[in-house]
Structure 1
Amino acid sequence: MKTQTLEQILPDIKKTLQTNHASEFQLVIDEFQPYDLARIHNLLSDIEQNQLLELLNDEQLADMMQEMDYPLQIEILAKLSKDRTTVIINLMDNDDLAILLEELSPEQKDALIRGMSAEESRFIRNMMKYPPETAGRIMTNRYVWIPQHYTVTEVVQKLKTYVSITETINYLYVVDDDKQLIGVVSFRGLILAEPDAAIVDIMHTRVHAVPVDADQEEVARIIQQYDFVAIPVVEQDNKLVGIITVDDILDVVIQEADEDFRKMNATSGKTIDFNTKATVAAYRRLPWLILLLFIGLISGSIISQFEETLAQVVALAFFMPMIAGMTGNTGTQSLAVIVRGLTTKQMDKSLVYRLLARELKVGVIIGVVCGILISLIAYFWQGNLYLGLVVGISLIATLIVGTMAGTIIPLVLSRLKVDPAVASGPLITTINDILSLVIYFGIATLFLSYI
């Protein structure tokens, strides 16, 4: 049977909402995922949205809210009774709840946390102590840990009790009496083991864990390198305090990529989307652009220094935008490669040297090919061999310089513990504009008597 799209099934959903029959409504949405419910909610009118909230059970509502952005979450919580709000907050995953609480005022935050169960409240308060974008802020306490003295049969019995509230059971973490992490058992290993086998005999003692203060990008890198679906989080004494699951890491990867993209385009670190007001969007973009405006004035002063050269050979002005544009483009390309490499790899000295050597070769190859091409164009257009040589040599030199600038600047920033993405595309382009004009007019001045 062909699967219906949400748009096709929406009329049936609206019909069941109007009849207000909970059992009929549950039959319609029985196989929907939380993301689907969130999309359905957004397609409904205000009245229908309220009806939807009434007919969803608590688990469905909590799951649906976790697929929504902060403003919608707050809007929905405002429609719920105090008692139901407490239930929903307790059902939400810790990491998603921490993100929601981060956006609230201290009074609202305390009010919601006080309504949670004692254990969940204690865990959330502890999570909120860790800095944003660290392992401690994206971990969850909904995992299965096993005392070291358990047998396989005892583990299975515990799983039956806790499986409904855990985020994943792919890995079971073994702890000692002080709750220090000493081993891990895969679900597959548990199934294949004998029922009376001791858990310490089948566990793996070499466990990859991350400290609570580890940067979320480092956590993502480890999960990607080892193909984990979850990773344990420990405090300094190796005490197990939580786990991070791969679905949360996917959110981190998207978030970090979005941040890098905005930085590389010289926009604010804050999100600018389709709903952002024009004044807010302009405010977030202006600081970088004003800085680049003043840096760009240097380009004008450089041109003024070579007025005599430009006046004698007006044809040089024709190739000036092309020289500057090509240099900026090649610098931005190298920047994108380096920022991506710094995000996915640990850069050691040998790798940096290989990278610099490769980008230098890339710059030479691109420069020579483009330089020869533009030399021929300049020669046939003006019938002046020396003009062709000036433009060609300038382009070769500026493309090499532009490529190396786009490579070296982010590497230096990374070495200084500064986010390399701040070497944004517009910044690299502006710097390369200045360098290209100096090189271009410098070479042209040297050949001035020939052209």
Structure 2
Amino acid sequence: MSQPEEQQWKLLLLEALVKERREEAQQVIEEVYPYDLANWYGELGKTEQERLLRYLDHERLADVIEELEIDEQLEVIRRLDVDHAGHVMDLMENDDVADILEELPDDEVDRLLSGMRPDEALVVRNLLTYPAETAGRLMTNRFIWVTDESTVGETIEKMRDYIEYSETINYVYVVNQLSQLVGVISYRDLILASNDERIADVMDRKVISVSSETDQEDVAKMFERYDLVSLPVVEGDVLVGLITVDDALDVLREEANEDIEKLSASGKSIDFDTKPWVAATRRLPWLILLLFIGLVSGSIISQFEETLSKVVALAFFMPMIAGMTGNTGTQSLAVVVRGLITREVDKRVVTRLIIRELRVGLIIGVTCGILIAIIAYVWQGDPILGLVVGSSLIITLIFGTLAGTIIPLILHRLNIDPAIASGPLITTLNDILSLLVYFGIATAFISRLM
């Protein structure tokens, strides 16, 4: 749908809701995607939101709720009566229901589950027993499995019976009499096989699976590494669920958002709708800490007050030296954090990365150092000042690049999320380093600068 078409449908829906024209609203609802309805929902007034919820049938409402942000999901579920909410949650993916209910108090969870079908409620309760952000919380029980004794014909017939129930039909998973995962067969291979062949004879016995306790970030990496569209979840060898690629994509988005928040030192999630006071209180702890660390920079300058008073021109280049060092450190930090997310790291990879970044720092440092040395000489007419500024920048850019590389690697080694080595922290530390180097070199050449 193009943007002009989307805007046109949006205006038609708004007009129908305002004028309470149910049939016109439902015509628009049938023409647009649940994702679009979810986006428009937050822009509607309270009255129009309630009318939209009334006009949506159970299946369409379930699809829309799955596209909403968690705060809006909670709001919508609470607006529905128990029976209505139960029917809708029966149609939603079990893991999405579990994510919503996790945010609610126990009594409200019990009340909502009482409105669901007993079999669906049982599955959701089971999902809630798994730790958050694990494979167990991502998995669904809506998939097709057969025993290894089944025939191809029986499997295809089962697929026809459960096609509306299953989240994916790309693969059928095979278990033995003990419900242990023993193989997998693709829809393509089923079509090519003869109906009377046994599944055990045509299935692929090499099955990639994860434990229910596996961290969700590791699950997402497996999808990326092996180009999967679904991933079975086991406890021991027993097949207990399936994770689909859309859930893995959601995990990658969540993890990326978390890393961005940590890199910017903003802590918990802050978006366009976050209240000013909440946003400020989430940012302040880090900023206050960095404020006190930043005072170290002031104390360094005070230690070299005599040098600065004798050669005032040194002050002209202070912001540039500190800023360039912080910038190159932040660039290296971003490269390392992104690499740690997307690939496995061992001693060989770390060594190669550090050597590579050392060379990068050297190239950047020499290039920028020579350039600023020439500028300082032409501007101030003092070759020694140019030497001090240029050599300082070379050294600080090399160390700044290495700091942005090594600090997150050390944190990763200590099993601490490397994204907490945030941009502001690296920048502040590099500011301190750059001032020490700059004024140290200037003090060594003070007699020639005067």
When the two structures are superposed, what TM-score results if normalisation uses the length of structure 1?
0.95
Instruction: Note the 1:239-258 alignment, pairs <5 A.
Output: 239-258=238-257
Q: Which amino acid aligns with 2:226?
A: Y
Q: Partners of 2:81 and 2:293 in 1: how far apart?
A: 56
Deviations for 1:241-293, whole angstroms, at most 9, x for unmatched residues? Answer: 1111111111111111111001001111x211122111111111111111111
Judged with a 3 Å threshold, the aligned counterparts in structure 2 of structure 1 residues 115 and 401 are, in CA distance, closer, same or farther, namely same
2:448 alignment partner, SS class:
coil
1:279 alignment partner, SS class:
helix
Deviation of residue 26 (structure 1)? 4.8
Q: Which residue of 2 aligns with 1:64?
A: 64
Q: Which amino acid aligns with 1:428?
A: I
Deviation of residue 3 (structure 1)? 9.5
- The 8 Å contact of residues 83 and 116 in structure 2, kept in 1 or not, is answered as no
- The 8 Å contact of residues 267 and 284 in structure 1, kept in 2 or not, is answered as yes
Residue correspondences, number: 448
Q: Which residue of 2 aligns with 1:366?
A: 364
Deviations for 1:416-442, whole angstroms, at most 9, x for unmatched residues? Answer: 000000000000000000111111111
Deviations for 1:118-171, whole angstroms, at most 9, x for unmatched residues? Answer: 332222222222221111111111111111111111111111221112111111
Judged with a 3 Å threshold, the aligned counterparts in structure 2 of structure 1 residues 313 and 417 are, in CA distance, closer, same or farther, namely same
Instruction: Note the 1:319-330 alignment, pairs <5 A.
Output: 319-330=317-328
The 10-residue stretch of structure 1 (169-178 or 402-411) with the greater mean CA deviation from structure 2: 169-178
Q: 1:438 aligns with which of 428, 436, 439?
A: 436
Q: Partners of 2:264 and 2:25 in 1: how far apart?
A: 46
Q: Which amino acid aligns with 1:118?
A: P
Q: Which amino acid aligns with 1:245?
A: T
- The 8 Å contact of residues 6 and 40 in structure 1, kept in 2 or not, is answered as no
The 10-residue stretch of structure 1 (252-261 or 151-160) with the greater mean CA deviation from structure 2: 151-160
Judged with a 3 Å threshold, the aligned counterparts in structure 2 of structure 1 residues 430 and 177 are, in CA distance, closer, same or farther, namely same
- The 8 Å contact of residues 20 and 55 in structure 1, kept in 2 or not, is answered as no
- The 8 Å contact of residues 82 and 111 in structure 2, kept in 1 or not, is answered as no
Q: Partners of 2:3 and 2:292 in 1: how far apart?
A: 57
Deviations for 1:304-335, whole angstroms, at most 9, x for unmatched residues? Answer: 11111111111111111110100000000000
Aligned-residue Cα RMSD (Å) equals: 1.9
Judged with a 3 Å threshold, the aligned counterparts in structure 2 of structure 1 residues 386 and 10 are, in CA distance, closer, same or farther, namely closer
Q: Which residue of 2 aligns with 1:353?
A: 351
Q: Partners of 1:240 and 1:262 in 2: how far apart?
A: 36
Q: Which amino acid aligns with 2:434?
A: S
Q: Which residue of 2 aligns with 1:262?
A: 261
2:131 alignment partner, SS class:
coil
- The 8 Å contact of residues 82 and 112 in structure 2, kept in 1 or not, is answered as no
The 10-residue stretch of structure 1 (406-415 or 111-120) with the greater mean CA deviation from structure 2: 111-120
Q: Alignment identity in percent?
A: 57
- The 8 Å contact of residues 266 and 424 in structure 1, kept in 2 or not, is answered as yes
Q: Which amino acid aligns with 2:317?
A: F
- The 8 Å contact of residues 59 and 91 in structure 2, kept in 1 or not, is answered as yes
Q: Which residue of 2 aligns with 1:156?
A: 156
Q: Which residue of 1 aligns with 2:392?
A: 394
2:8 alignment partner, SS class:
helix
Q: Which residue of 2 aligns with 1:48?
A: 48
Judged with a 3 Å threshold, the aligned counterparts in structure 2 of structure 1 residues 404 and 125 are, in CA distance, closer, same or farther, namely same
Q: Partners of 2:293 and 2:15 in 1: how far apart?
A: 61
Q: Partners of 1:308 and 1:45 in 2: how far apart?
A: 65
Deviations for 1:165-221, whole angstroms, at most 9, x for unmatched residues? Answer: 211111111011121111011111111111111111111100001111111111111
The 10-residue stretch of structure 1 (48-57 or 306-315) with the greater mean CA deviation from structure 2: 48-57
Q: Which amino acid aligns with 1:312?
A: K
Q: Which residue of 2 aligns with 1:192?
A: 192
The 10-residue stretch of structure 1 (197-206 or 4-13) with the greater mean CA deviation from structure 2: 4-13
1:201 aligns with 2:201: yes
1:234 alignment partner, SS class:
strand
Q: Which amino acid aligns with 2:321?
A: I
- The 8 Å contact of residues 134 and 213 in structure 2, kept in 1 or not, is answered as yes
Deviation of residue 405 (structure 1)? 0.2
Deviation of residue 27 (structure 1)? 4.6
Judged with a 3 Å threshold, the aligned counterparts in structure 2 of structure 1 residues 212 and 321 are, in CA distance, closer, same or farther, namely same
Q: Partners of 1:393 and 1:227 in 2: how far apart?
A: 48
1:66 alignment partner, SS class:
helix
Deviation of residue 360 (structure 1)? 0.2
Q: Which residue of 1 aligns with 2:420?
A: 422
Q: Which residue of 1 aligns with 2:289?
A: 291
Q: Which residue of 2 aligns with 1:378?
A: 376
The 10-residue stretch of structure 1 (413-422 or 159-168) with the greater mean CA deviation from structure 2: 159-168
Judged with a 3 Å threshold, the aligned counterparts in structure 2 of structure 1 residues 428 and 10 are, in CA distance, closer, same or farther, namely closer
Q: Partners of 1:105 and 1:149 in 2: how far apart?
A: 45
Q: Which residue of 1 aligns with 2:406?
A: 408
- The 8 Å contact of residues 35 and 64 in structure 1, kept in 2 or not, is answered as yes
Judged with a 3 Å threshold, the aligned counterparts in structure 2 of structure 1 residues 414 and 10 are, in CA distance, closer, same or farther, namely closer
Q: Which amino acid aligns with 1:300?
A: G
Deviations for 1:50-97, whole angstroms, at most 9, x for unmatched residues? Answer: 333223221111111111122322332233232111111211111211
When the two structures are superposed, what TM-score results if normalisation uses the length of structure 2?
0.95
Q: Which residue of 1 aligns with 2:278?
A: 280
1:273 alignment partner, SS class:
coil
Q: Which residue of 1 aligns with 2:216?
A: 216
